[in-house]
Chains A and B, each alone.
Chain A
Amino acid sequence: GNSVTQMEGPVTLSEEAFLTINCTYTATGYPSLFWYVQYPGEGLQLLLKATKADDKGSNKGFEATYRKETTSFHLEKGSVQVSDSAVYFCALLNTNAGKSTFGDGTTLTVKP
């Protein structure tokens, strides 16, 4: 079946540090890959996505590249801000299965 494995948290960084949150997946076929973010007290929202191999999703300074050869979709940001503090979820959507599979989430705290 499909599965998503995320880097365990929590992750604590200082402002302007480089961020990487690892995500690897197992799926049949060619899934679409997503990163969702949940800010404190808010609902989940899409951060970025990639629908095929070698695609790069980007938004708000975050990037992730769909790597089929390593079945990965790592989230990166060059310089984090306090406002980036949130829980980040990696997810895949397998068109054969219909429903999405989410990772367990990684809590990021950025300190000034």
Chain B
Amino acid sequence: GAGVSQSPSNKVTEKGKDVELRCDPISGHTALYWYRQSLGQGLEFLIYFQGNSAPDKSGLPSDRFSAERTGGSVSTLTIQRTQQEDSAVYLCASSSTIVGNEQFFGPGTRLTVL
């Protein structure tokens, strides 16, 4: 079956512009995660959705970052007024339950802020 997909695969934007990154999780997966991976760095947790519960936004680095998940499926991560330090690969992952199940990762969106 289809895996997690993300779009666009690459995004180049100018400082100060807003960007939207999209994630299509595996069908039926109730949990969805966003991470950020800067060059040579580990994974930085951003936000986590589980079913209809309120999302865990504890990893969002500033109020310029927001995410929503519509209908328990597709998710959009929005970064407003982008800064150069936002440049990174943004990864989305989904899993079928939160109890011990693996996360399936998408290929990521590489964001470059000029």
Binding between chains A and B: yes
Say which residue of B31, B41, B103 sits within 8 Å of A46 (CB atoms): B103
CA distance A3 to B33 in the complex (A): 18
12 contacts between A and B (CB under 8 A): A36-B105, A43-B91, A44-B91, A46-B103, A51-B100, A95-B99, A98-B50, A98-B98, A99-B45, A101-B45, A103-B42, A105-B41
Render B36-66 as a binary contact track against A, CB cut-off 8 A, 1 for contact: 0000011101001010000010000000000
CA distance A36 to B43 in the complex (A): 11
Is A100's CB under 8 angstroms from B33's CB?
yes
**How far apart are B5's CB and chain A's nearest CB, in angstroms?**
11
Q: Which residue of B lies closest to A31 (CB)?
A: B100
Is B98's CB under 8 angstroms from A102's CB?
no
**Chain B residues near A (Cβ < 8 Å):** 31, 33, 35, 41-43, 45, 48, 50, 56, 91, 93, 98-108
A99-B45, A100-B33 given; A43·B100 CB < 8 A: no
CA distance A93 to B31 in the complex (A): 13
Is A104's CB under 8 angstroms from B42's CB?
yes
Is B48's CB under 8 angstroms from A98's CB?
yes
5 shortest interchain CB distances as A-B pairs: A104-B42, A32-B100, A102-B43, A44-B105, A99-B48
**How far apart are A37's CB and chain B's nearest CB, in angstroms?**
11
Is A99's CB under 8 angstroms from B43's CB?
no
Is B42's CB under 8 angstroms from A45's CB?
no
Q: Which residue of A lies closest to B59 (CB)?
A: A99
Chain A residues near B99: list those with CB within 8 A: 32, 95
A98-B50, A99-B45 given; A43·B102 CB < 8 A: no
Instruction: Contacts A43-B107, A44-B91 known; list 15 others, CB within 8 Å.
Output: A32-B100, A36-B103, A42-B107, A43-B91, A46-B102, A46-B104, A49-B102, A51-B100, A93-B98, A93-B100, A95-B100, A100-B33, A102-B35, A102-B42, A102-B43
